[in-house]
Amino acid sequence: MQHRIVILGAGYAGTFSAGYLARQLHSDDFEITVVNAEPDFVERLRLHQLAAGQDLRRRPLAEVFAGTDIRLRLARVTNVDAEHRTVTVADGDGIDRLEYDTLLYALGSTTADHGVPGVDEHAYHVAARPAALRLRARLDELDEGRHVLVVGGNLTAIEAATEIAESRPGLRVSLATSGELGGWLGPKARRHMLRAFDRFGITVHEHTTIELVEEAVAIAADGTAFTADATVWAAGFAVHPIAAASGLEVVTNGQITVDRQMRSISHPDVYVAGDSAFVIGENGRPLPMSCASAGVTSMQATAAIIGDRTGRKISTTSLSYVGNHISLGRKDGLFQLVDGDARSKSWALCGRTAARVKSAILDTAAWSLSHPTFGRPGHQYRLATTREHSPDVVAA
């Protein structure tokens, strides 16, 4: 029988992992199924552009996986039973249950509401394509002079506020953050960011914690009411509660605890990549939820899956985080390097060059989804049990 590998989620981590595994593992021995709710790969790092009114290139997963034997299952994951190695999914035809021998959990994250009343009912976000399109439709309804409030002070909030302000100059955009906007940036990068906010006319309310969101107003902890025809919630990420309900060991925020090879410490037949993984980086700190972390964790997880199932030596991927790349509209941006302790360095790349570099990085990331291996085509690893556990046998 084929060894059944099920991959949950087709974001950056899941899509890259699926394509890489399909090109490295022999289809006679391995069956790979990808479960995803949407038929297209979604460039999450460009969703603020989609929300602002720009059209993004479609990347159908069927085309991304062309030339492989990957089975694409378009469905929502509703439950994972780690003890019985099953995944429950739902689609237009009803409920189904998939069995697996190896599971790669890459469901990613969504926006964190932090328990603030009214966020789910009245706020918008850009953490998923349907949500970004919902915000776009709302912005289309707003007349000139209407007010958009972005809540949050980190990368997503900065990018959403500047993108909306640039793409829709007739709207009044403001941002409320519980701390200092871009306070983690080095002095050069932060000055550049604040100049961009001034250029776009974005009003910034620092040290302002929003504690209630209503249909047309957001209320701060001190009672200040901010009128908002659209409130965009960008106050951090949260993982889906499926992980915590699955029987897998998780930390308090719901991320799955993994070892250095991305195996669940409670269920080693489950591997985790992307935002759902709680893993300590080379600097002794947890890797942040980010596209960069999705890249290194998926590389390590796929190496471990191949090694554990074929007997090959498992290569070690560096789990490091080098910096923050932030777009400030389409023609401006910045790249802030960090040191080994995740503190911002004094050097930063700013301006049009930084914007072009980030665009090139995103284009390269999208391209790599369909080209996830540099190994010789036609050479794939067999399941160790079918080759007497020999770690060096490959089959063309």
% of the chain residues with pLDDT over 70: 94
pTM: 0.91
The answer to whether residue 335 sits within a structural domain is: no
User: Mean pLDDT over residues 322-337, rounded?
Assistant: 90
HSE-up of 245 (CA within 13 Å, CB side)? 10
Pick the closest to residue 105 from 270, 226, 242, 237 (CA basis).
270
Q: d(Cα 225, Cα 85) in Å, to the nearest integer? A: 49
Q: Is the residue at 332 inside a domain?
A: no
Q: Which of these three, 233, 259, 282, is where a domain ends?
A: 233
Neighbours of 291 (CB within 10 A): 18
The helix or strand, by DSSP H or E, that contains position 299, with its residue range, turns out to be helix 291-310
Give the list of residues 6+ apart from residue 294 with CB closer than 8 angstroms, or none: 11, 12, 13, 16, 106, 108, 273, 274, 275
Residues 278 and 220 placed together within one structural domain of the fold: no
Number of domains forming the structure of the chain: 2
Residues 390 and 245 in one domain: yes
pLDDT at position 270 over 60: yes
What 3-state class would DSSP assign to 28?
coil
pLDDT higher than threshold 50 for residue 393? no
Q: Does residue 29 sit within a domain?
A: yes
> At residue 368, does pLDDT exceed 90?
no
Closest CA to 43 of 32, 55, 30, 27: 55
Examine residue 346 and state whether it is found in any structural domain, yes or no. Answer: no
Domain containing 302 equals 3-108+240-321+368-395
Radius of gyration of the chain from Cα atoms? 22
Position 394 confidence tier, pLDDT thresholds 50, 70, 90: very low
Q: Among the three residues 233, 249, 283, which one is the final residue of a domain in this structure? A: 233
d(CA 396, CA 378): 5
**244 and 229 within one domain:** no
Nearest-10 Cα torsion for 304, 308, 370, 277: -40
* CATH code: domain of residue 245: 3.50.50.60
Is residue 253 in some structural domain?
yes
Higher pLDDT, 56 or 361: 56
Give the chain's mean pLDDT: 91
78 lies in some domain: yes
* Domain termination residue (choose one: 218, 233, 248): 233
Predicted pLDDT of residue 374:
45
Q: pLDDT tens digit string along 19-59?
A: 999 999 999 999 999 999 999 999 999 999 999 999 999 99
Q: What pLDDT sits at residue 381?
A: 87
Model confidence at 161, in pLDDT bands (50, 70, 90)?
very high
pLDDT digits (tens, 9 = 90+) for 235-261: 999 998 999 999 999 999 999 999 999
And the tokens for 57?
Answer: 């290139």
26 three-state secondary structure = coil
Q: Which helix (H) or strand (E) holds 4?
A: strand 3-8
Residue 287: which pLDDT band, with cuts at 50, 70 and 90?
A: confident
Does residue 356 belong to any structural domain of this protein? Answer: no
Question: Is the pLDDT score of 61 beyond 90?
Answer: yes
* Separation CA 31–CA 70 (nearest Å): 7
Identify whether the C-beta of residue 215 lies closer than 8 Å to the C-beta of residue 122. yes
- In angstroms, the CA 343 to CA 337 distance is 8
300 and 248 within one domain:
yes
pLDDT value at 188 more than 70: yes
**By mean pLDDT, which of 58-62, 311-315, 334-338 is the weakest?**
334-338
**Token pair belonging to 99:** 């069995």
pLDDT of residue 277: 96
Report d(CA 119, CA 211) in Å as an integer.
10
Residue type at 234 in one-letter notation: A
pLDDT at 395: 40
Looking at the fold, whether 249 and 391 belong to one and the same domain comes out as yes
Segment 111-158, tens digit of pLDDT: 999 999 999 999 999 999 999 999 999 999 999 999 999 999 999 999
